[in-house]
Structure formats: C-alpha cells, structure tokens
Amino acid sequence: MTIRNVTIIGGGLIGASWAALFLAHGLHVTVQDSDSVAEARVAGFIRRAWPDLVALGLASALPDLARLRFVADPAEACRQAQFIQECGPDRLDTKQAILRGIEAGAPAGTPVASSTSALLASDIQAGARHPGRVLVGHPFNPPHLIPLVELVAGRRTTAETMDRAQAFYESLGRAVIRPRKEAIGHVANRLSAALYREAVHLVAEGIASVDDVDRAIASGPGLRWALMGPHLTYHLGGGEGGFRHYIRHLGPTQAARWRELGTPELTEEAIAALIAGVDAELAGLDAATLEGRRDRALVGLLRLKAELGL
Amino acid sequence: MTIRNVTIIGGGLIGASWAALFLAHGLHVTVQDSDSVAEARVAGFIRRAWPDLVALGLASALPDLARLRFVADPAEACRQAQFIQECGPDRLDTKQAILRGIEAGAPAGTPVASSTSALLASDIQAGARHPGRVLVGHPFNPPHLIPLVELVAGRRTTAETMDRAQAFYESLGRAVIRPRKEAIGHVANRLSAALYREAVHLVAEGIASVDDVDRAIASGPGLRWALMGPHLTYHLGGGEGGFRHYIRHLGPTQAARWRELGTPELTEEAIAALIAGVDAELAGLDAATLEGRRDRALVGLLRLKAELGL
C-alpha cells in the first residue's frame, strides 16, 4: 500500500521540518497541534525551507499548501493516516497520553513512529492497544535536510511495522539505520554525547576554549565525518593495510587515549564557562544568519555527496 | 622574516602531503628521508594531489618540482631551513634522536614543529639544545586538504616560537588552534577517540553494526560537524534561547547519556567484529577509489564553506 496520507503529531520545529519533507515528496500532510499559532508557524517554516528542497531537486518552485491541513484533535487528525510521525514533548507520560489520543482515531495497522531522542519504544508502547505498530523513527535536526533516520523496535513492535516504516522513509530518500537493540540515545546521539562529554572536559579543565573545540571539529575530523563514518575514516588512515592494519597497530593508541578521557559534570562553573565561550565564539553573529549558512551548506554538501557516490 | 625554505623530516604519507601544501604556496621544500624510495613516493603523491590544490585555487596547473629537493642527512637537510616540520615515526626515543639530527644542522632560531599525534612537546624537547623552538604542529590527514593544525607548546617552548609558527601556518590558510595545556591526543584526536570509544561499544554490544555507526555519523551529526562544532550545533538546537537554553534545559539529558556510555576493551573478539563489519561495509570497494571520492568531496566542501563564510 503506497502511503499518501501522513499525520504529524505536534507542530513544533521537528514537526514543521517533517511536514516540509513530506509535502516535497507529494504527500498529503495533516498536522495536529492544539495550539492555534502552530498553523502559521508551520506554514512559515515550510515557505522558508522550500528553496532548499527545490535546490535538492525534491520540490518544484512553490509548495502546494493545499495538501497541508491542521487539526487540533488527535483522534480526528489520525483518522485517514497511513503513517503517523509523533513529535510531541519528550516525556514518557506525555508520549503515552499522545498515543492514547492517536489510537482513538487511527486505523489499527497504521505505524506510529516517535521522533523521540530520549525515550525507548518499549516504554512508549507499554499500555498501547496496538503496541506492535509503535516504533522509534528518530530524525536529526533539521529532518528535511539531514537524511539520517534511526528506526528502533520496542519489545512488542512487529517486524512488519519495521519493514513498512523503513520502506516509507527510504522512499523519501532517508538514510535509515536499524539498531538491533534499544539504547538510551539510540546510536547517533550516543556518539554525539560521547564527543560532547570530552568537549566539556577540555573546556572545564582549561585545556581548550569553546572556540578551539568547535574549530578543531569543523576544520578537522568533522570534515571527514561528513563524508564517511569513523570506521571508514580509519580504514583510509591505515594506509595499504587498511582498517586491519589500523586497528591492530594503532588500536592500542586509541585505547590509551580512551583511558585519558574525562568524566566532567555539568556544574554551574562549567556551564558558565561554556556559555561565555559560546558568546565569545559567536561574537554577535545571530542564530538566524548562522542557521541560514548551515542550511545552504547542507544542501551543497548533500548534492556533492550524491554526485560523488558518497 | 618571511619563510621561504621549509624542511620536512620524513617522506611518509604525512610528510608528502605537507610537501604538496608547502609547494603549492610557493615555498622551497627540502624533504629528508634516509630511504631512497621516498623521492619517487613523495613526487608521485604530489602529482596526484596537485589537481585538488589547483581546484582549491592554491596552485597553477603543474607543480614546480624544481623547488623540491631530497636529502638523506638530517643535519644537511636543515641547514637552510626557516621552518622544520618533523614527520618521523611517533615514538619518543625516535623523535628525540631525530631532534638531535636536526639540531646538528638547523639555525638556532628555526622552529621545529612535530606532527606527532601521540606525544607531548615537553617530552620531545627534553634534552634538546634549544628546547624553546620545539613545539607540536599536529595536522589532520591529509594535511594538504584538512585545514586544522593544533599548535601546542611544551613547558620550555617560547611564546615567540608559538607566534611564528601560528603566523606561518595561517599564511598557508590553515585553521590554527592553540590549546592552553598539553594533553595526550591534543584536542581533535581526544574528541575523535571519545566518539570512537562509543562506536566500539555499540558494535561490541551488538547494539549497532559497523555500517550503522558509519551511516549514523556520515548521514547525521557528521554533516553538521563539517560546518560547525558541537557547541554552535547545540546553539542552533536550542531554538530562540540558543546555547543558554540548550545547556540549561537539555544539558541534563546530555549528562544522563554520558552515564550510559560504554567503556569497551579492544579484545580479540571486538577487533574481529570490527574488521568483519568494515569488510561488509566496504563490499569490495577499494581504498584508492574511496580516498579519491573523499578528496574530491573535501575540495568541494572546503570551497562551499569558504563561499558561505563558514
């Protein structure tokens, strides 16, 4: 069954970005939000995001907002849904309450993918009437530009649900991964948290400034990680022997570094140092300008990777 | 004093890449290597790297190899040097022996920057006749494309040496950071090691495959880290409240994830799983093809960032 009708629960930043992506792929999109300002906010986001979707070859000049509708009631919003992307607040009791609202209206077999970054599908689906169709479909901000979607099954999620969700996201050009076990933070946010823990350690210990850390990543390993992950990066770092050589000969150096890594706490002092460092780094640059540059660069980067088969 | 004559100690992969960068900036480059095959290897590397340097606007159509010479004896190689980039094997006794060879020929004030990723400047400079001119100038592979250079002073390195080295690297368009304290792995490799430790944990625990981890990075946060570091990324993730909002409201979620991160060991079993995973991910793709795509993409990415002021 080809999916044509998608419902998004929650018209915040993530919901609006999903809406732009779904619309660009020709879907009919219902956004549920009880806040009456959501409609203007989501429509505004879509208009701003649209040129990037056109540049990526996903959309034509103007968004067809006739395919977008807003509904306040969750059950009503889900009645025609063939796929539901839940983007509510990231608290378990809230997610479970939202799920009850969805189940009051949604057809029984419709997958319900939660955008949660902090919760597990097993916990969200506990108490659901149809737990088998509940999964995690975690995007990265902004979802209309960053291709990654992490699909994670809860203990009661059916394989059919997982396969249908994967086929759906892949039809939208998403890069899907399916971790085999649930874990707090899934995969990408765990890797990000590991990196950031050491970033906070370096700043808190006075080894490096916030600006040093950001520059080190964005002018160093971050450039490579945009193109390939750490394993393939080390494969190329291993010379003719490839990853085998790297892990056998330089692996011990890695492990030695692991033992040196810090375990900082987010104390008031550390938080103050981080905030002061970010202010110094920004030097007055406003977030909208920075975000605009990032999004233009993401579009260019995605096109570049597609051209080169990366 | 404008630097025109640079000596590179060691004609391996890193030395050859530095040589290409220095030549592209019009410098006279002496490469010291006791292995007679180094000359052909370095010249071959430079010819292959040259089109990327042309694409970056750093070089004209053909490399001027008349500005490149090879010398086997370290003292002789350093006699005219105004800057020395040491790229020998990354072991302390070897580095100290290399430094004795350099000091036998180099003018007393010439900075000696070590490309070391594993050692500290304080240890390398111990026992030197002129320790004040010894520092770490750590690049990222490949140095002719990745802009980051980490400048780290040893206990006895002079401020003048640091300033001269910074001015030199910045004249080559490098993104210089100056960490305030020595630390194993400097800054970028510590951040990389922190990320990789969790990557190994995820694979070893069967949570994610090698391919999942690499795809999660390269289709997810890696795309953003190529454009800005983690602090600015979280600044944009904090919405209207920016980094202040992020760290106060989502910082506790970060800290909760930190407590969940793994502390894997590189056991034979883990190494076998990593190697098998990389083989599966590569599916026969050869390293030369992958490296070529990476380097084309790095050139495009660097141009894109420069255009957008990132």
Do A193 and A158 have their domain in common? no
Measured between CB atoms, which of A192, A202, A209 is closest to B190?
A202
Cα separation of A192 and B196, whole Å?
10
Do A197 and A165 have their domain in common? no
Question: pLDDT (tens digit, 9 = 90+) per residue, A294-310?
Answer: 999 999 999 999 999 99
The residue with greater pLDDT, B240 or B86, is B86
Task: Write the CB contacts of A27 (distance below 8 Å, at least 6 apart in sequence).
Answer: A3, A4, A5, A6, A67
| pLDDT band, residue A240 (cuts 50/70/90) | confident
Instruction: Judge whether A127 lies within some domain.
Output: yes
Residue at A269: amino acid letter: E
C-alpha neighbours within 13 Å on the C-beta side of residue B259: 7
DSSP string over chain B: ----EEEEE--SHHHHHHHHHHHHTT-EEEEE-SSTTHHHHHHHHHHHHHHHHHHTTSS-SS--GGGEEEES-HHHHHTT-SEEEE---S-HHHHHHHHHHHHTTS-TT--EEE--SSS-HHHHHTT-SSGGGEEEEEE-SSTTT--EEEEEE-TT--HHHHHHHHHHHHHTT-EEE--SS--TTTTHHHHHHHHHHHHHHHHHTTSS-HHHHHHHHHTTHHHHHTTS-HHHHHHHHTGGGHHHHIIIIIHHHHHHHHHH-------HHHHHHHHHHHHHHHTT--HHHHHHHHHHHHHHHHHHHHHHT-
Residue A227's domain is classified under what CATH number? 1.10.1040.10
| pLDDT band, residue B161 (cuts 50/70/90) | very high
Do B160 and B65 have their domain in common? yes
Instruction: Judge whether B243 lies within some domain.
Output: no
| pLDDT band, residue A89 (cuts 50/70/90) | very high
Instruction: Judge whether B53 lies within some domain.
Output: yes
Do A87 and A192 have their domain in common? no
Q: β-strands B134-139, B148-153: how paired?
A: antiparallel
Do B155 and B10 have their domain in common? yes
Do A35 and A158 have their domain in common? yes
Distance (Å) from the alpha carbon of A175 to chain B's nearest alpha carbon: 7
Q: How far is CA B279 from CA B48, B258, B273, B286, B304, in A?
A: 26, 30, 10, 11, 32
Do A130 and A27 have their domain in common? yes
Question: pLDDT (tens digit, 9 = 90+) per residue, B230-284?
Answer: 999 999 988 889 999 999 999 999 999 999 999 999 999 999 999 999 999 999 9
pLDDT higher than threshold 80 for residue A47: yes
Number of domains composing chain B: 2
Distance (Å) from the alpha carbon of A116 to chain B's nearest alpha carbon: 12
Do A170 and A54 have their domain in common? yes
Do B52 and B194 have their domain in common? no
ipTM of the complex: 0.97
| pLDDT band, residue A61 (cuts 50/70/90) | confident
Cα separation of B294 and B179, whole Å?
28
From chain B residues 112-141, the ones with a CB under 8 A of any chain A CB are 117-118, 140-141
Residues from chain A contacting residue B191 (CB–CB below 8 Å): 195, 198-199, 202, 213, 216-217, 221
Residue A63's domain is classified under what CATH number? 3.40.50.720
Q: Does A23 reach chain B within 8 Å, measured CB to CB?
A: no
Residue where a domain stops, chosen among A157, A177, A197: A177
| Residue B176 backbone phi and psi in degrees, to 5 | -95, 135
pLDDT score at B240: 86
Task: Write the CB contacts of B167 (distance below 8 Å, at least 6 apart in sequence).
Answer: none
Question: pLDDT (tens digit, 9 = 90+) per residue, A99-127?
Answer: 999 999 999 999 999 999 999 999 999 99
Structural domain boundaries, residue B285: 188-227+265-308
Instruction: Judge whether A195 lies within some domain.
Output: yes
B244/A229 Cβ within 8 A: no
pLDDT score at B1: 73
Do A162 and A219 have their domain in common? no
Instruction: Judge whether B84 lies within some domain.
Output: yes
Confidence (pTM) = 0.96
pLDDT score at A139: 98
A218/B229 Cβ within 8 A: yes
Do A162 and A194 have their domain in common? no
Cα separation of A87 and A70, whole Å?
15
Do B216 and B93 have their domain in common? no
Residues from chain B contacting residue A214 (CB–CB below 8 Å): 228-232
| Residue A30 backbone phi and psi in degrees, to 5 | -110, 125
Cα separation of A132 and A75, whole Å?
19
Instruction: Judge whether A222 lies within some domain.
Output: yes
Cis amide linkage into residue A179, ω under 30° from 0: no
Residue where a domain stops, chosen among A177, A211, A226: A177
Residue at B18: amino acid letter: W
Instruction: Judge whether A183 lies within some domain.
Output: no
pLDDT higher than threshold 80 for residue A1: no
pLDDT score at B61: 84
B210/A231 Cβ within 8 A: yes
Measured between CB atoms, which of B141, B226, B266 is closest to A226?
B226
pLDDT higher than threshold 90 for residue B287: yes
Instruction: Judge whether B76 lies within some domain.
Output: yes
Nearest Cα to Cα of residue B262 among B186, B216, B208, B185: B208
A195/B191 Cβ within 8 A: yes
Pull the structure tokens for residue B273: 């799983």
Question: B273: burial class by Cβ within 10 Å (0-12, 13-18, 19+)?
Answer: middle
Residues from chain B contacting residue A282 (CB–CB below 8 Å): 232, 235
